[in-house]
Amino acid sequence: MSAKKNDNIKKAAKAPVKAPVKAAAKASGKTTTKTEVKAATKKAPVKKAAKPATSSARRARPATSSARRPEPEYVISKAAYQRSWKYIVDINSASKERLDRVALIDMERTYTYRQMFRNWEKYAEVFSALGITEANHSRLAIFDCSCIESSFAVYAANMTGSSIAGFTPAYLSEKFPLSKAIKEEGITDLFINDLAVNKRLLIHALKIKAELGLRNVIVVKVPIDSNKMDPGLVSFSNSNYKELKTVDGALFMDDLIEKYEGTPISYGKKTNDPSSFVFHTSGTTKGISKPAPLSDEALNLASENMKKSRKFVAFEKGCVTLCTMVATSVYGFVNQLHEPLAFGCSVVLLPMANQNPFFVKSISHYKINAMFVTPFYFEAWSKLPKDFIPDFSSVNAVIIGGAYLSAEARKRYTKFMEANGAKDVKFVNGYGMSETCGACIIQTEEVDNDSIGFPLPGVDLKIYDEIDEKFYSVKDKHTGVLYIHSDSLSSGKIDDNEFFKLDEIDGVPYICTNDVVSVNKDGSISCQGRANRYFVNNDGIKFNAGIIENQVASEEGIEACAMTPWYDKLLTHDTVPVLYVQPVSNDKNAAEIVKNALVNVFIKKGTAKESNLPMQCVIAQQIPHNRNGKVDIYRITNGGVEGDRYIIRPVRVKNDLKDIVLELTQNADEGITNGEVPVELSNVWDDIRESTMDKTVLNQAANQYNARLMSLFAGAHMMQGLPGIPGLSLDPATIGQFVSMLQNAQNQFISFSSQYIQYVVSEYNNWVLQTNKYIQDVNNYQVHQYSKFVQDVRKYEVDMTEYLKNLWQQQAEQAQKLQKQQAEYIQKVQEYQVAQYQKFTQDAQAYLKQWSDYAQKVQEYQAAQCQKFVQDYQKYQAQVADYAKKVQEQQAQDIQKFLQSFQGQLSQQGQQPQLPPMAYMGPVAPDQSAQK
């Protein structure tokens, strides 16, 4: 960067807080006094909204083209100046209908906003009990695999005042520098999804906890039990969690929620900590992931800018969105979770995101209205069989982030979606950075060109013209490097560690995007390429790879392209530009498509300099992209792309480029010099010839003779292919006199020239070799270091994939073995039950037979007893009758005796007895009832 630019730019570390107010005042054409700045920058109380004057000053819109439709009045919600959790709560507590609206969906689970807020409180109760709070200066690292539990943890930690740092699960590997990240970013506690860790990795995390003095390592169970999930994965997840619970030293969230339920929540008091959230970039074209600290206001104002833009008004009615990335990046958390919740949308959060087997079907199953994706998804879907392509019938909005979307690609994606159910789908392409909290410039359907669109409210742009070395506003319509200031700009610092610098322009902090842009007539912005994507050859020609890539990729029929330097070690020892191109359809016409694109860019349109024309072209079936959808330059330079290689032959007429020809070749070294002497050797020959011409013996001899000798000498020079002196003719006598001297002079010239040329060329070649060797050693070291890092990362991914594959295979084998054992056990149980039943049946039959025999014997015994009883009774009756007869006879005798005695007594007294008539006194008949 020039000294003049350095005078205009100061690093934002010294930038005053009042910068946004100055910027707003400057944009409105007003001056700002110190009193106004002080009043405008004074922090608002937690429960009060920012002063109206402050809001309008800070949010002033930069001037825009009159061709654009005016934006609605930009008014920031009062809730935005609070912590992020409170912002979401206040926005969605306006009505009972909003509270009862579905907020989160996860396979079989759904949470309304009311239920989601209660779960935030449950997690906050745990964090308060464990001291993960603002008072303890905590920073909770969350290793997310895209799940509802992680979102609960983020907002709960924000509630207790703890800072949050998001990491991908890959950082838990022993090969990743997790310890370094913990030290640099001030991590105090770890929160891990069980789907992201196994027993070995958990032990590794606990080892780091002991070494660095971390406070807590918490593991949360992510339930994936569902008929939509593969049974093998469910079984693996459950068995893995059982293994994790055997590890000493780890805490488990389900136990903690039960233990600390009802604990008073320790609410955070700070309202705008510059590092409340620390997200990490998903990787740049250089493969580097870096932290991006953001404040609560940054997240909230990013949502407000989206809400107040007329392009997203329809979201206010509520829609269903699909989260496709883990919540460790800005695009994953801010754009796909925080902003939809601010709109009151329903967010589908599938465990493992796009790795979930149900991911493709979820789009139609949950009737997704808006998708946040990268172009990578459409490229992958378009190659799937028909049965595996999503049904887009419910989708009416697609938000593309992480990569540029050309007009041609947008038309192609629209056609692809319409062929698979979509009816009236709209595409929105967001341009921004993690450091700006996501999208700052939006391209919608109304933009029918290859621009990246218009800036959102709260965003101001500056363009640095590298030729003028000055900054310009958008309305000046200059081409140069883009700088962005927004309400959501990161500070670049975490505590005392600075991870990237901001540039101060006229007292306002901006961030350099390193993208070269131009301004179109309608005020929209077009990206020309990367300012920091160039390389230089030995002739000092600067190849702007970013611009060439962007221009060629925007041509019809080109899907993606990348230009990389290739170092030629054999012929030129120079840096050779090679263009890698992926056509839309890689058929026999691919070379013609690429040729037409080059002709348009370098000849017809002239959007790239002729000097930047690549020397070779490789037509590949697939240009590699990283996980965020960006071209992976380093996989290309490390030999990760194969295809047909062509020599690019420029066709010139009087030094004017008229056409371009592609010639197929099998040799990478062929065609580099186009059949000519290498440029540096040609220059050396010219320098040697010019510097030795007036020093040779030939010139000394020629100066001593007359004009005729000079003519002869000139003729000799012409015979040697050197510049001659025209004009004089020679006679044969003169020629004969000087033949001998001419031969001697010629021999001396040849000897001297040859020796001198050999010496200079030798010295030059030594210098070239030493210089190139040094450059090569440096490049080789850098490439080796990065390649080693990339290889380690890829090896880890391969190892992890293989490990999971083996683990799943083992689990599947164990499951099969268990199923076999269960089947054998069930068979044995059934056989045992059958045998027991047969034995029971036999025992029952024997018992019944015994009972029948016993009953028969009882009947026979009863019949005999009854018969004996009848006989005894009859005998008894006979005895009774005899006895009664005897008694009657005895009574009759006794009565007779009594009467005789009584008559005797009366006779003695002289009276005649008068007796009543006597009844029959015969024997008494037996009682009939007794007989019965």
pLDDT higher than threshold 50 for residue 904? yes
Q: Residue 647 pairs with which residues in a beta bridge?
A: 616, 663
pLDDT higher than threshold 70 for residue 586? no
Q: Give the separation between CA 844 and CA 847, rounded to whole angstroms.
A: 5
State how far Cα 372 lies from the chain centre.
Answer: 11
The pTM of the full predicted model, rounded to 2 decimals, is: 0.58
pLDDT higher than threshold 60 for residue 704? no
Of the ranges 453-457, 547-551, 619-623, 804-808, which one carries the lowest mean pLDDT score? 804-808
Quick one: pLDDT at residue 567? 53
CA angle 252, 257, 258 (to 5 degrees): 105
CA angle 195, 113, 274 (to 5 degrees): 70
Q: Give the separation between CA 524 and CA 18, rounded to whole angstroms.
A: 29
> pLDDT per residue over 47-102, tens digit each?
333 333 333 333 333 333 334 455 446 577 888 899 999 999 999 998 899 999 99
Q: Residue 566 pairs with which residues in a beta bridge?
A: 576
- Taking CA atoms, 87 is separated from 79, 91, 267, 274, 337, in Å, by 5, 6, 14, 17, 14
> pLDDT per residue over 166-210, tens digit each?
988 888 887 777 888 899 899 999 999 998 899 999 999 999 999
Quick one: pLDDT at residue 57? 32
Quick one: pLDDT at residue 456? 86
| Cβ-based neighbours of 724, under 8 Å, separated by 6 or more | 714, 715, 717, 718
Which residue reads 């606990």 in tokens? 206
> pLDDT per residue over 772-821, tens digit each?
566 656 655 655 665 666 666 666 667 777 777 777 777 778 878 888 88
DSSP 584-626: SS-STTHHHHHHHHHHIIIIIS--S-GGG--SEEEEES---B-
Residue 438's φ and ψ, nearest 5 degrees, are 100, -155
Q: Give the separation between CA 112 and CA 108, rounded to whole angstroms.
A: 14
Of the ranges 51-65, 323-337, 827-841, which one carries the lowest mean pLDDT score? 51-65
pLDDT higher than threshold 50 for residue 716? no
More confident residue, 862 or 52: 862
Average pLDDT rounded to a whole number, residues 874-897: 88
Average pLDDT rounded to a whole number, residues 324-344: 86
Instruction: Kindly indicate the confidence band of residue 757, based on its pLDDT and cuts at 50, 70 and 90.
Output: low
Q: Does residue 528 contact residue 516 with C-beta atoms inside 8 Å?
A: yes
Instruction: Kindly indicate the confidence band of residue 572, based on its pLDDT and cuts at 50, 70 and 90.
Output: very low
Instruction: Kindly indicate the confidence band of residue 438, based on its pLDDT and cuts at 50, 70 and 90.
Output: confident
- What is the percent of the chain with per-residue pLDDT over 70, rounded to a whole number? 69
Does the domain formed by 534-671 have CATH 3.30.300.30? yes
End-to-end CA distance of the chain: 139
Q: Give the separation between CA 158 and CA 90, rounded to whole angstroms.
A: 15
Secondary-structure percent of the chain, ordered helix, strand, coil, rounded to 5: 50, 20, 35
Average pLDDT rounded to a whole number, residues 589-597: 90
- Taking CA atoms, 84 is separated from 48, 92, 288, 295, 440, in Å, by 15, 13, 28, 9, 20
Q: Give the separation between CA 688 and CA 757, rounded to whole angstroms.
A: 7
Quick one: pLDDT at residue 306? 82
Helix (H) or strand (E) run with residue 756 in it:
helix 732-909
DSSP 487-515: TT----EETTEE-SPPEEETTEEEEEEEE
Helix (H) or strand (E) run with residue 662 in it:
strand 656-665
> Given CA atoms 857, 860, 863, 866 in this order, what sign does their dihedral have?
negative
More confident residue, 256 or 790: 256
Two structure tokens written together for 709: 């000798």
Quick one: pLDDT at residue 171? 82
Average pLDDT rounded to a whole number, residues 911-918: 55
Instruction: Kindly indicate the confidence band of residue 335, based on its pLDDT and cuts at 50, 70 and 90.
Output: confident
Q: Give the separation between CA 231 and CA 445, rounded to whole angstroms.
A: 43
Instruction: Kindly indicate the confidence band of residue 622, based on its pLDDT and cuts at 50, 70 and 90.
Output: confident
Q: Does residue 251 contact residue 208 with C-beta atoms inside 8 Å?
A: no
Quick one: pLDDT at residue 314? 63
Q: Does residue 452 contact residue 437 with C-beta atoms inside 8 Å?
A: no
Which stretches within 437-497 are classed as H helix? Answer: none
Q: Give the separation between CA 445 and CA 679, rounded to whole angstroms.
A: 49
Quick one: pLDDT at residue 495? 83
Hey, what amino acid is at 167? Answer: F
Two structure tokens written together for 621: 């079936």
Instruction: Kindly indicate the confidence band of residue 139, based on its pLDDT and cuts at 50, 70 and 90.
Output: very high
Quick one: pLDDT at residue 158? 96
Instruction: Kindly indicate the confidence band of residue 347, based on its pLDDT and cuts at 50, 70 and 90.
Output: very high
| Cβ-based neighbours of 199, under 8 Å, separated by 6 or more | 240, 243, 244, 246, 247
> pLDDT per residue over 626-680, tens digit each?
655 667 775 776 666 888 889 888 888 877 888 898 888 866 555 443 333 333 3
- Taking CA atoms, 1 is separated from 188, 473, 532, 636, 912, in Å, by 39, 20, 12, 29, 179
Strands (E), 438-588: 438-443, 454-455, 459-465, 470-472, 480-486, 493-494, 497-498, 503-505, 508-519, 525-530, 534-536, 542-544, 558-567, 575-583
More confident residue, 121 or 354: 121
Mean pLDDT, the chain, rounded, equals 76
Quick one: pLDDT at residue 621? 83
Highest mean pLDDT among 263-267, 561-565, 728-732, 864-868: 263-267
Average pLDDT rounded to a whole number, residues 24-47: 35
Two structure tokens written together for 258: 């039960």
Look at residues 331, 343, 265, 317 and name the one whose alpha carbon lies nearest to residue 87: 343
